[in-house]
A = this chain, B = another copy of it.
Amino acid sequence: MVAGVEVTGEGLSCRRGDRLLFTDLSLNARPGTLTAIVGPNGSGKTSLLRMIAGLLKPEAGTLTLSTGGVADEEPATLLCYLGHHDALKAQMTARENLEFAARWQGAVRDPDEALARLGMTRQADLPVGYFSAGQRRRTAFARCWMVGRPVWLLDEPTSALDSAGRAAVIDLIGAHVADGGTVIAATHETLIAGAAELRVA
């Protein structure tokens, strides 16, 4: 059981350049739920996720991560973020990439187990530069699972994945949610039936 963290946003608005992507957006993601951010291309899904991760300042509004009703001081250490970019170093092997992440962000699970869960055992010692698009994505998701923080922010987690990879990812998301985790995912497809939908535009 992971610590239940609730993500609350109120009156959020986001500006990129001179354009307001969205205004007065509210969100509430409780522990044990999956929230899907939906909207057309360029509507601000990625921007919203980055905002929650603390990587982008909201133009207006407030964002809090709270455990048991108490707002957290260091939100950055409560969450993991899987962006469009896989954030893997092409010159390092999959295992080396994960081992570094385990050191830098801390980890609750073993890198090898994480890779195995996504069917990447055979490629663990290959430099990521040789990977196919799907293998890369699997490795990036494996990192997220390995780090195992309560809040997962996922930007199109299943892109480039084949059906087996997609099933594995959806499985692990489901398990995390069942375990009391909070998952917020931006996606163009249905990940888990019954996910709450948050429309950005």
Query: Chain B nearest CB: distance from A126 CB in Å?
Result: 8
User: Does A30 lie at the interface of the complex (its beta carbon under 8 Å from any beta carbon of B)?
Assistant: no
Contact (Cβ within 8 A) B164 A160 = no
What number of copies of this chain does the assembly contain?
2
Within 8 A of B (CB), among A110-169: 123, 126, 130-135, 138, 155-156, 159-165
Name A residues whose Cβ lies closer than 8 Å to a Cβ of B.
Answer: 16-17, 39-42, 45-46, 84, 123, 126, 130-135, 138, 155-156, 159-165, 188
CB distance from A140 to the nearest CB of B (A): 13
Q: What is the minimal beta-carbon distance from A79 to any residue of chain B, in angstroms?
A: 20
A-B contact pairs, 13 of them (CB 8 A): A16-B130, A39-B162, A40-B163, A41-B132, A41-B133, A41-B165, A42-B135, A46-B132, A133-B155, A159-B160, A161-B188, A162-B188, A163-B188
Q: How far apart are A119's CB and chain B's nearest CB, in angstroms? A: 8
| Contact yes or no, A156 B130, CB < 8 A | no
Query: How far apart sit A34 and B41, CA to CA, in the bound complex (Å)?
Result: 26
